[in-house]
């Protein structure tokens, strides 16, 4: 401890930025290749400021990590800072007064002026106070297509969902799985959301997730989506995989035609040295509706008594939002920055498409901002059961979906 303090003191003296150097434990679930490279940018920036980033990565995606993070905060063993998806996941923690209020810093730095879209900051706000620092925008609305697979099958790379389903038999004929899908429930549920936005349109989707309108679920637009989803589950037969990045890997290696997955898949293509437009194609909104949802990750800072830690938390929050860190992080991660005033000219083809759609304002909130974790879990259970049990008909799952939406809080 003493030794560490000496080193920290020496560092602080040599860099001579802040008066104190503090260790801050940061928990997150960014463990795939692209994600780890991105989070290292945060750590680098934080350490450069004289503090020490203690990395607390939790493997196994948000579903595994969130319970650990939340129970540590509730159990009175809070970390210095943590990743969460903003939205309703931290709602009760904030209401119980377990999170640091960032409002003063946000006002001083004028977060409200540069955060784009503003809905990101709204998702951090409870009763007019700001409790989290958004760090990126993630959109679910993408399908990733493997050029190698389509070359092998001798068919052109599809440009929308209908062409994709039409090309499936050609892929099957050469032993390629048309659609890669991991077995974790959030993946099937997410893919269903993407299909809904693409086929039924954003207004219909919002009516269900935001207004919890049961009649819309039972209506014709949703019926068509459930049928399309029912047809899609045949396309993933033969892919016995669990994790999303294993599914992405099937697309990278040409074992699968495509994958419906959020733009975090981009980082995997980047790590594998693949070039957008040459080795793979990305279609926002499945090529039907060019739209992106603006979910994302945010950092929350649990409330602690220690004044040093509190100061370090605010330093970190300020850094995460800064232009340089935003650019470095998001280029590695393949996500979009939360501020509209940064230069991303080195971004690749897919990210540029995303930036264009963002600039045109064709955006949607993320499902997490309207659905509670309780409702989400039930929907995920329902969709993963439907995807794997081919004896369940689309009509049955539609009824199940409607009853969950009817009970949603």
Partner 1 sequence: MEKASRPSQLFRNLSAKFAAIPMVLTALVIFVGCTVWSFVYSFTRSKLLPKPLFTTEDLFSIPMPTWLIKDGSFDVYYITGFVTKSFVGMAQYDRLWSNSRWLTSIENLALYAGFALVFSLVVGFILAAFMDQKIRFENTFRTIYLYPYAMSAIITGLVWQWILNPTFGIEKIVRGWGFENFEFAPLQNPDLVMFGILIAGVWQGTGFIMALMLAGLRGIDEDIWKASRIDGIPMWKTYIKVVIPMMRPVFVTTLVLITAGILKVYDLVVAQTNGGPGLSSQVPAMYVYSYLFTAQNLGQGLAASTMMLLGVLIILIPWTIIEFGGKEKR
The footprint of partner 1 (CB under 8 A) covers 63, 66-67, 70-71, 74, 89, 91-93, 96, 183-184, 240, 242, 372-374, 376-378, 381-382, 384-389, 400, 407
Q: Are 131 and 94 in contact (CB under 8 A)?
A: yes
Nearer to partner 1, 67 or 156 (CB): 67
- Minimum CB–partner distance for residue 263 and partner 1 (Å): 24
Per-residue CA distances from 252 to 32, 257, 270 (Å) = 15, 9, 10
Per-residue CA distances from 60 to 94, 185, 344 (Å) = 25, 13, 30
Nearer to partner 1, 68 or 272 (CB): 68
Nearer to partner 1, 356 or 374 (CB): 374
Tokens of 8: 């920290």
Cα(115)–Cα(396) distance, integer angstroms? 42
Nearer to partner 1, 29 or 280 (CB): 29
End-to-end CA distance of the chain: 48
Nearer to partner 1, 105 or 371 (CB): 371
SS3 127: coil
- Minimum CB–partner distance for residue 229 and partner 1 (Å): 14
Other beta carbons less than 10 A from residue 214's beta carbon: 17
Q: 91: which residues sit within 8 A by CB, 6+ positions away?
A: 126, 372
Q: Are strands 23-28 and 292-293 parallel, antiparallel or unpaired?
A: unpaired
Nearer to partner 1, 195 or 331 (CB): 195
- Dihedral of CA atoms 176, 172, 145, 385 in degrees, nearest 10, equals -90
- Minimum CB–partner distance for residue 77 and partner 1 (Å): 15
Q: Is the N-terminal amide bond of 117 cis, ω within 30° of 0?
A: yes
- Minimum CB–partner distance for residue 366 and partner 1 (Å): 17
- Minimum CB–partner distance for residue 33 and partner 1 (Å): 21
Nearer to partner 1, 76 or 220 (CB): 76
- Minimum CB–partner distance for residue 183 and partner 1 (Å): 5
Nearer to partner 1, 15 or 96 (CB): 96
- Minimum CB–partner distance for residue 245 and partner 1 (Å): 16
- Minimum CB–partner distance for residue 387 and partner 1 (Å): 6
Q: Among all chains, which residue has been given the structure tokens 């280029």?
A: 331
- Minimum CB–partner distance for residue 309 and partner 1 (Å): 23
Nearer to partner 1, 233 or 332 (CB): 233
Task: Output b/e per residue, 310-344; b: 16+ Cβ within 10 A.
Answer: bebbbbbbbbbbeeebbbbbbbbbbbbbbbeeeeb
Phi and psi at residue 317, to the nearest 5°: -60, -40
Chain centre to alpha carbon of residue 334: 11
């Amino acid at each position: 401890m003493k030794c560490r303090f000496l080193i920290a003191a020496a560092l602080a003296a040599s860099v001579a930025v802040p008066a104190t150097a503090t260790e801050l434990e940061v928990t997150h679930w960014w463990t795939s290749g692209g994600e780890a490279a991105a989070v290292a940018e945060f750590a680098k920036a934080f350490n450069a400021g004289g503090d020490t980033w203690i990395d607390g990565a939790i493997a196994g995606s948000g579903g595994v990590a969130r319970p650990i993070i939340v129970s540590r905060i509730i159990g009175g063993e809070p970390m210095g800072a943590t990743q969460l998806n903003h939205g309703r996941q931290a709602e009760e923690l904030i209401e119980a007064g377990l999170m640091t209020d960032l409002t003063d810093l946000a006002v001083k730095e004028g977060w409200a002026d540069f955060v784009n879209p503003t809905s990101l900051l709204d998702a951090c706000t409870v009763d007019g106070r700001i409790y989290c620092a958004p760090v990126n925008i993630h959109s679910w609305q993408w399908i990733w297509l493997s050029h190698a697979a389509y070359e092998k099958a001798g068919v052109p790379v599809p440009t929308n969902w209908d062409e994709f389903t039409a090309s499936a038999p050609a892929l099957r004929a050469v032993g390629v799985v048309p659609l890669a899908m991991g077995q974790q429930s959030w993946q099937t549920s997410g893919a269903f959301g993407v299909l809904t936005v693409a086929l039924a349109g954003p207004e219909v989707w919002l009516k269900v997730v935001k207004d919890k309108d049961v009649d819309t679920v039972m209506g014709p637009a949703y019926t068509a989506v459930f049928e399309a989803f029912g047809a899609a589950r045949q396309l993933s037969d033969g892919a016995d995989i669990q994790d999303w990045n294993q599914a992405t890997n099937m697309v990278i290696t040409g074992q699968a035609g495509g994958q419906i997955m959020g733009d975090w898949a981009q980082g995997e293509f980047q790590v594998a040295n693949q070039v957008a437009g040459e080795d793979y194609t990305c279609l926002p909104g499945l090529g039907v509706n060019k739209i992106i949802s603006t979910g994302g990750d945010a950092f929350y800072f649990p409330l602690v008594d220690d004044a040093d830690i509190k100061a370090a938390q605010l330093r970190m929050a300020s850094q995460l939002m800064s232009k340089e860190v935003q650019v470095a992080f998001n280029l590695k991660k393949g996500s979009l920055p939360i501020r509209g005033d940064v230069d991303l000219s080195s971004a690749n083809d897919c990210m540029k498409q995303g930036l264009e759609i963002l600039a045109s304002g064709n955006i949607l909130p993320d499902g997490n901002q309207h659905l509670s974790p309780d409702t989400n879990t039930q929907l995920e259970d329902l969709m993963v059961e439907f995807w794997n049990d081919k004896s369940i008909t689309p009509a049955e799952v539609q009824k199940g979906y409607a009853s969950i939406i009817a009970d949603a809080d």
